[in-house]
Amino acid sequence: MTGESRAGRQRRDPAARGPGSGRDRAGIGPGSGGDRRAGRAGRLANMADLRIALAQIDTCVGDLEGNADAVLAWSRRAAEAGADLVAFPEMTLTGYPIEDLALRGSFRRAAWDAAADVASRLAQEGLGGLTVVLGTVGSAGEGRALVGEDHGLPTNRAVVIADGAVVASYDKQHLPNYGVFDEFRIFEPGSEPRTVEVGGRTIGLLVCEDIWQDGPVAAVADLGCDLLLVLNGSPYEEGKEAPAPTSSRAAPPRSTRPSPTSTWSAARTTSSSTAVRS
C-alpha cells in the first residue's frame, strides 16, 4: 500500500458479483510453490514452446460490448497465429480510466457478465483451449455480495479465461493516484498474489503499478512462477523509462526463486499496453 489516507474515497452503490480473488480452481491460485519449483529448470528449458500473443488494443471507456468484441476478434487472430495465451491491456473490458463508473454496482455486474460472455463465446467457437488474460473491474468481498445486500468494493482486476469460463482473477495491489492516475480513490487494493498454470508453466499475474513498487513481484515469485505477465495501462510520457526489474529490488533473489527478468518486451502506446517478462 502507498500509505495514503483512504478517507477521501467515494464508495457508492458497491454492488457487484464475479469470481473471487481466492483459489478459483484446482491448480490455480496461491500456494507454497515448492512442488512447482521442482520442475522449473525443465520447464524453463521448454519455455519457447509456450506461445504468447500480446494484443495491444485500443479500448473505449464504458463500451463493454465493443471492447468484448475486440477481445474476441483479437483472440481469434491470436489462435490463428498458434498462441497458447493472449494477453490484453489493463482494464480491457471496461476501458481505462473508468473513474466513478467503478463505483456503480450495475456497471461491475455488466463487466462480469461481459467476461463470462467472452468465455462462452470463445468456447462456442472452439477456442476454449486458448488462455485469455484481460483486465476488467472486479469486486472485493463478493462472497458476501452474491446474496442480499452487496458490500463488494471495486478492484482493478485481471481475469483468466479458459475452457469457456473465467477461471482465475488477480486484484491489483498498488493503485497509483498521481499524474493522470486516479485509482487509489476508486479501487480497493488486492492483497493476494496469483499464479496460473498454462501449458505446464506457472505464470505470475500482476497489473502495471505492481511492478513499479516493492512487494508484489517478490510475493508472486515466492509462489514459484516461471514467468511474470503484467497487464499495463500506461500513457506515453516523454522520457519515460521502463521500470527497473523489481524482482531483484523487492527482495534479494534466493536459490529457490526464479531468476529476475532476462528479457523485457513491452510496448507503450498513448492508451494502454501489455508487457510480458520472462
> Is residue 171 near ligand GLN by the rule CB under 6 A?
no
Sole window of 44-52, 130-138, 160-168, 204-212 interacting with ligand GLN (rule: CB under 6 A): 204-212
* Residue choice 95, 176, 204, 224 for contact with ligand GLN (CB under 6 A): 176
Name which of 97 and 128 has its Cβ closer to ligand GLN: 97
Report CA-CA distances (Å) from 148 to 152, 167, 171, 184: 12, 24, 24, 27
The answer, yes or no, to whether the previous bond of 97 is cis (omega within 30 of 0) is yes
Cβ atoms 55, 74 nearer than 8 A: yes
Cβ atoms 13, 103 nearer than 8 A: yes
Choose the catalytic residue: 4, 65, 90, 209. Answer: 90
* Residue choice 152, 204, 233, 258 for contact with ligand GLN (CB under 6 A): 233
Q: For residue 230, give the nearest of 186, 192, 278 by alpha carbon.
A: 278
Task: Please classify residue 177 by burial: count the beta carbons closer than 10 Å to its beta carbon, then call 0-12 exposed, 13-18 middle and 19+ buried.
Answer: middle
Q: For residue 204, give the nearest of 55, 18, 40 by alpha carbon.
A: 40
Cβ atoms 204, 228 nearer than 8 A: yes
Name which of 208 and 225 has its Cβ closer to ligand GLN: 208
Name which of 233 and 258 has its Cβ closer to ligand GLN: 233
Sole window of 32-40, 125-133, 206-214, 217-225 interacting with ligand GLN (rule: CB under 6 A): 206-214
Name which of 21 and 234 has its Cβ closer to ligand GLN: 234
With cell 496469483, the residue in question is 194
Indicate if 90 belongs to the active site.
yes
* Residue choice 208, 218, 221, 223 for contact with ligand GLN (CB under 6 A): 208
Q: For residue 144, give the nearest of 153, 136, 135 by alpha carbon.
A: 153
* Residue choice 209, 228, 250, 274 for contact with ligand GLN (CB under 6 A): 209
Considering only residues 238 through 277, tell me which ones interact with ligand GLN, judged by CB under 6 A: none
Name which of 55 and 83 has its Cβ closer to ligand GLN: 55
Catalytic residue annotation: 90
Using CB under 6 A as the criterion, which residues of the chain lie in contact with ligand GLN when the complex forms? Answer: 90, 176, 181, 208-209, 212, 233-234
